[in-house]
Amino acid sequence: MKKAMSMIELVFAIVIMGIVVMSLPLVLTQVQNSNSFALRQEVILSIRTKLSYILSYQWDQNTYDATADIERVLNVPTSADTDTDFNTSTIRRKGHVLADGRRRLWDDLNVSTTKANFGVANATILEGDIDDFDVDSEIKTVTALDDFIFNVELNTTVNYIKDTLSNGNYASSKDITFTFNPSNSTTNSTNIKMIKVTATANGIEKPIFMYAFSSNIGQSKVIKKTWQ
């Protein structure tokens, strides 16, 4: 009887051990998937942080008017990639409010930086505006136990994208069609700059990238009134 019970116990033990061993690959796969998901989330957070940082800079190096302490709208040279409704020979575009402290162009119609002059001359020069981050590369490294899981490399590009309409016009049409496509980059100056940050890291199968966009709209001052 004791021998029979021992045999039954042995069989049960073998079956239980077999079930445990069979589940190990599933457990390891789940752990791997969880680690991969955590890494992707970390990479996405790094990209979003980088984009937010870049967007805090002024639109162009020619934007800021130090005398008036305000960011101006810049004139964009005529080309096939920018809408003619933005062209003007005066300091205000269609739709600009005729009042002090509102959005307008420079008195001498300063233009935006050309694509050929995007970026900085060398790594020792600090970025001053959005397009200075073109061809920027940054590596986030592990420096502490609670730091990044893996080293993450962030590569940034800045381009103009076309602002022409597919249908209608900005000035008078009630219905317009604008194709907002990141693939519509151009070397011609337009009113929209596209920022692309691409991240690579050990542990992710493919690079992850995100876009952000910034427009040439200048700035309005906060209206103030002094009470006597």
135-183 per-position pLDDT tens digit: 988 887 766 666 556 788 999 999 999 988 888 888 788 888 988 889 9
User: For position 99, what pLDDT does the model report?
Assistant: 85
Count other C-beta atoms under 10 Å from residue 54's C-beta.
Answer: 22
CA triplet 183, 64, 91: central angle to 5 degrees? Answer: 85
Question: For the whole model, what pTM was predicted?
Answer: 0.79
User: For position 35, what pLDDT does the model report?
Assistant: 63
User: For position 3, what pLDDT does the model report?
Assistant: 53
What is the identity of the amino acid at 40?
Answer: R
User: For position 154, what pLDDT does the model report?
Assistant: 94
User: For position 31, what pLDDT does the model report?
Assistant: 60
Non-local (6+) Cβ contacts of 64 within 8 A are 58, 70, 71, 72
Pairwise CA distance, residues 74 & 63, whole Å: 7
User: For position 213, what pLDDT does the model report?
Assistant: 96
User: For position 162, what pLDDT does the model report?
Assistant: 92
User: For position 172, what pLDDT does the model report?
Assistant: 81
User: For position 196, what pLDDT does the model report?
Assistant: 97
Burial 161-170 (b: 16+ CB within 10 A, else e): bbbbbeeeeb
Residue ranges in the chain modelled with pLDDT below 70:
1-6, 20-21, 23-36, 123, 142-149
User: For position 224, what pLDDT does the model report?
Assistant: 77
